[in-house]
Amino acid sequence: MKRLTYLVLALVASTASYAQGDPDTVAKLVEEGKGHNQARLHLETICEQFGSRLTSSSYLEGAQAWAMEQFKAFGCQNVHLEKWGEWPVGFDRDRSGQVGRMTAPIRRNFQFTTPSWTPGTKGLQKGQAVMEPKSMDELNKNKSKFKGAWMVMMPRAGEGIPTREVRDAVMEAARKAGIKGTVQGSANELVITSGNYNITWDKLPKDVRITVRKSDYTAITDALNANKKVDLEFDVRQQFRKGPIVINNVVAEIPGTEKPDEVVIVSGHFDSWDGPMSQGALDNGTGSCVTLECARILGTVMAKPKRTIRFILWSGEEQGLFGSRQYVKDHAAEMDKISAVLVDDGGTNYWGGFVGLETQIPFFQKSMDTLNEAFPTLPMKWRVSARMPRGGGSDHASFNAVGVPGFFTEETGVSDYNYVHHTQHDRLEAAINAYLVQSSTAAAVTSYNLACADQMLPREPKAGG
DSSP 145: G
Q: Residue 463 has what pLDDT?
A: 66
Q: Say if domain 99-236 classifies as CATH 3.40.920.10.
A: no
Q: Residue 13 has what pLDDT?
A: 43
Q: Would you say residue 274 has pLDDT above 70?
A: yes
279-288 per-position pLDDT tens digit: 999 999 999 9
Q: Residue 345 has what pLDDT?
A: 97
State the amino acid at position 349 in one-letter form.
N
Query: pLDDT over 70 for what percent of the chain?
Result: 95
Who's near 291: CB < 8 A, 6+ residues apart?
266, 267, 268, 311, 312, 313, 344, 443
51-70 per-position pLDDT tens digit: 999 999 999 999 999 999 99
Q: Residue 19 has what pLDDT?
A: 61
Report the first-to-last Cα separation within the chain, whole angstroms: 21
Range 239-255 average pLDDT: 98
Please give the Cα distance from 377 to 454 (Å, whole number): 31
CA-angle at 255, arms to 253 and 260, nearest 5°? 125
* pLDDT band with cut points at 50, 70 and 90 for residue 348: very high
CATH of 19-91+243-452, one of 3.30.70.1730, 3.40.50.970, 3.40.50.2000, 3.40.630.10: 3.40.630.10
72-124 per-position pLDDT tens digit: 999 999 999 999 999 999 999 998 889 999 999 999 999 999 999 999 999 99
Bridging pattern class, strands 209-212 and 108-109: unpaired
Please give the Cα distance from 424 to 94 (Å, whole number): 15
* pLDDT band with cut points at 50, 70 and 90 for residue 2: very low
Q: Is the pTM higher than 0.75?
A: yes
Who's near 120: CB < 8 A, 6+ residues apart?
114, 208, 236, 237, 238, 239
Domains of the chain, by residue range, sit at: 19-91+243-452, 99-236
